A and B are shown apart, each in its own frame.
Chain A
Amino acid sequence: MATLTSATPTREMALNPTLLWKRMRRELLSVVLVVVLFIVIIGPMLTVIFWAFAEQWRYPSLVPTKWGLSYWQETLTRADVTAALPLSIGLATIVTFLSAVICLPASYAFARMNFPGRQGFLLSFLATNAFPRFGLYVSIAVVFFRLNLIGTLPGVILIQIVNTLLLMIWIPTAAFQNIDRSLEEAALDVGASRVRVFLQITLPLVLPALSAAILLTFVSTFYEAQGALIIGVPNIQTMPVLMYSIINSQVIVQYGAVISLVLWLPSLLLLTFAQRFVRGNTISAGFGV
């Protein structure tokens, strides 16, 4: 019944010239969107993928003229790459861990305690993202220079932690705030101590949001290049920094392409993992501070 009745207006629509035009316009729009999407996102991605597996790519051809894996071997055995990859992973892990240790208790305090200047404090984390990063880094670099932190691992860790503050404070703060206090009171009521209430009620309930914050922090730290570049030179060379220098200085496109693909890997892995683990709306809900 339902399909029958709904079929009739569609046929009428097709006969009516103005409606027909409207529908065509709508379809045209989606075609245009797909094309734009392809040009802007898929196209460049495909180009990178093609380049990574190309032994030879002569001008008029739309695809590589000779495929192969030889540049993978060549790139991944470069001394600077084998040094940068573990460094990047290690650095992202350390930064994420330290940031979590600092920010998660702080976000709990922001959510649960009312102290003077609380709102201002929360907004101050926005400041690191509201102004051009580069300027901020340069002025921090001046300070770090005096403290002998330039070119050191602690220096890079510090600058990257600054980057993670917004995400690591705001998402968990909102998550803690969103928990109905009476859920905790109900647990207290049946005999749970405050510590147990936190561990068995509060924590499980904010876990999806916390995981989202941690994963996003890890990925964004892994890709962070500006701070690592300015503070890390010349000793600390992370993967993104290395990629910049390779792309800038090498005539061989394939090196950059292979490194790009390697750099995609962690974020693809983590986001797949995140998608399974984190409910779709948590990340967006997390920003409702």
Chain B
Amino acid sequence: MATLELIGLTKKFAANNAAAVHDVNLNVGDGEFLCILGPSGCGKSTTLRMIGGFEEPTAGDVRIDGQSVVELPPNRRPTAMVFQKYTLWPHMRVFDNIAFGMRLHHVPKEHIDRDVKNALQMVGLSGYEQRYPSQLSGGEQQRVALARALVLQPKILLLDEPFSNLDALLRVRLREELHAIQRRIQITAIFVTHDQEEALSLADRIAVMNAGHLEQLDQPSQIYAYPKTLFVADFIGVMNIFNATRTGDSLRVGQYALKGATGVRGDSNLSIAVRPEDFTFGAPTDSHNSTEMWRGVIDQSIDLGHYRKVLVVVPGLFENETTALAHRLKVYMPKSADAKEGDSIALYPTRYLVYTDHTQPIEVRNQALRTSDETRRDDLSSVAVSSDALANSG
């Protein structure tokens, strides 16, 4: 089995000024499933294609099992790629598509027959040997493409958004099957996607990319809980992001003061990020300190089955309130919460992250404030963040 190292990997295309991939460093362990996640155009495919040998890096190195492969053309690298487009050769039957690579490697015929059969069985397409690609659905074509890649027993399996052309249900099913296969044969896999739900459900670790840079490399739960940069905070899951100002140890968001942030240094202009499930809330009462408890009106209350998504307008919270829709606070509440549209509400973040330009984000947990209705806050702790909730971001 195999490990992969990317060292200072950089790619500049002659046509563009900015590097498509800029100084990417990462290690992938033996049998690990790594997802490269990022918005369209951030350099995911270029990174993958440099690993597969289809693009030549401008700088940096690609090492497989400690050996540099950067000088080798794709046909001499121990990698196999599944492409986003359907790339079965239309003039060859399924059998010949899968056998093509083995024949090039002079594998004996009996072995080819056996391996093709096994590979097709693995992707659930036994008996499809004699079909032409035009006789297969998109999902079946990508399964055959996976079989074609795996049958050569590559050290590293590369997948570039292989399921993004399929409908949602099929995409989830193939993703699960791929996951099972990868676990079974313990192959090191790099999977490129722009779909965070896909990344969160497949990956051992996720590499989040933005504009050619590697922003964060972490386990999915870490990425969700401790996004290292504001970009990751915004890109992964749903996040409320505010501008804040710092004077000494006290932070202000709009007209409100934020408690509990100590040790923030550097900039006086910061950003605050709060997950929708990290609020405590209740009906407003006079006893609340008005500069600390946020007061707003529920604009929309959406029952999403196992939880409730509530959009709250809080005057004086966002700096620029011209585009009202974008500046509603997103709050997840238990389904049972009594939150009707038009209700007044008081709320406060119990956990937030502070982003400055220079340092790692600082996590602040704040249980000091209490709303009048304690039971609601306790209900809140039972709101589990499921990947469905994350998928509904954006």
Contact = CB atoms under 8 A, between A and B. Distances in A.
Contacts of A186: 81, 83, 87-89, 145, 148
B105 interface: yes
Contact of B89 (A187, A191, A196): A187
A192 B105 CA distance: 9
B52 A191 contact: no
Interface residues of A, number: 17
Interface stretch (B72-80, B213-221, B283-291, B303-311): B72-80
B54 A185 contact: yes
Residue picked from B81, B83, B87, most chain A C-beta under 10 Å: B87
B89 A185 contact: no
Contacts of B75: 188-193
A201 interface: yes
B83 A191 contact: no
Interface residues of B, number: 24
B91 A185 contact: no
Contacts of A200: 100
B80 A190 contact: yes
Given A186-B83, A188-B73, A188-B74, A204 B91 contact: yes
A202 to B, nearest CB: 10
Nearest to A185: B54
B87 A182 contact: yes
B265 interface: no
B52 A189 contact: yes
B173 interface: no
Contacts of B149: 189-190
A192 B101 CA distance: 7
Best-buried of A182, A185, A189, A191 by chain B (most CB within 10 Å): A189
Interface string B51-77: 010100000000000000000011110
A187 B73 CA distance: 12
A191 B54 contact: no
A2 B101 CA distance: 51
Interface string B150-165: 0010000000000000
A171 to B, nearest CB: 19
A197 to B, nearest CB: 8
B100 A182 contact: no
A205 B52 CA distance: 24
Contacts of B79: 189
Contacts of A189: 52, 74-75, 79-81, 149
Nearest to B152: A190
B89 A183 contact: yes
B90 interface: yes
A64 B356 CA distance: 101
A182 B45 CA distance: 13
A282 to B, nearest CB: 14
A187 B101 CA distance: 8
B85 A182 contact: yes
A189 B154 CA distance: 10
Contacts of A201: 89
Interface string A178-221: 00101101111111110010001100110000000000000000
13 contacts: A182-B85, A185-B54, A185-B81, A186-B87, A186-B89, A187-B100, A188-B54, A188-B73, A189-B74, A190-B148, A191-B104, A200-B100, A205-B90
Interface of A: 180, 182-183, 185-193, 196, 200-201, 204-205
Closest 4 CB pairs of A and B: A190-B101, A186-B87, A191-B104, A188-B74
